[in-house]
Structures are given as C-alpha cells and as structure tokens.
Structure 1
Amino acid sequence: MMSDLAAVLAEHRAAPFPSAVRRGEDYGSVCAVTIDADICGWASRAGSLPPGARVPLARAADRLRSSLPEFPAAGRPYYERLLVIADLALAE
C-alpha cells in the first residue's frame, strides 16, 4: 500500500496546479492551496504519523470531499487525486 501512496504522491507532485483553480481562493470550506499542502504534507509522513495527526488529516479529507463540487470542473481531477492520497495515507 505504501508503494501505491508513493506513486500517487509522485504523480501529484509532478502535475501542474490546475489553471482553472484560483490560488488562495476558498472553494466550499477549503483554501485551494492550503488543502493541497496539508494533505500532501501529512500523507508524505504516512506510516510514521503520530496518532494525533490522523484526525486532522481525516478532517481535511472530509472538508475537501464535501467542497469538491465547488471547484471548477476542470480542476476537480487534481483534487480527486488528492482525496485518493488522503485515503491511502489514512489506510496506512
């Protein structure tokens, strides 16, 4: 599972930020840039996350999941991949 997470994280890091999404703008209950940084940061430590860090990661994923319809359609695949990353990290 860790290799799946590493592969998806690498793919995400190599992808350009979606041009349809405005940097720093809130979509639903999340900031487009902050949610990306938060989830990637926590996920990069998967397997060694302190117990208290799992809760904010899960909350961030929940906020993103509920906010996804507010993102421009062209930018959603980027954030859908971010949800995959969060789910894989939480499964570790």
Structure 2
Amino acid sequence: MAGYKSQYEPQRPGTYGRCSAGAGLWIKCALGNNINAVIKGAQGRWLDVKQKGRNYSGGLYFGDTQIADVTAVRGVPGILFPDGTFESLF
C-alpha cells in the first residue's frame, strides 16, 4: 500500500501495541488466559474490550463519554447501543 506506515511496538510478553500512521488507529492488546484490548480511532473514538472466560465487558467511547456497552449476546461479543442495536465485533 502506497503511503502506509506502521510501527509494531512490543510492550512486555503477551502485550502488543500497534500504531498506524495516517489510518487513525492505535491498538494495545494483552493476550493470555484473558484478553484486554484498547482500540483508539480517529476523532476521539475508542473501544475498550475485556474478556474473561466467556464474559465480555467494556465500552465504546467518544472522548470521555461512554456511548455503548461491550457485551456478549448468545456467546458472540459485540457492542450494544442504548437503542438496542447490537453490532458484532467479528
């Protein structure tokens, strides 16, 4: 891809960070028995996902304001908006 730059940043064993210049995306993910991920996008939007066993939690944020919850519906993790709309993470 022309003009695409990325930087891989190992943090500590099992923790990974990735910055993509020009794409407006920053990912930090800790892997192990559980998953912790923070994905920051453009214009102040970010997603916090935590997985412990079969349970998922976290939220979708705009700046400091949470605008939706992360949960699992029938075992599928996703974002549940206040109006009842569910968007799968996969």
Superposition TM-score, scaled by structure 2 size: 0.22
Structure number with bigger Rg? 2
| Higher strand proportion | 2
| Higher helix proportion | 1
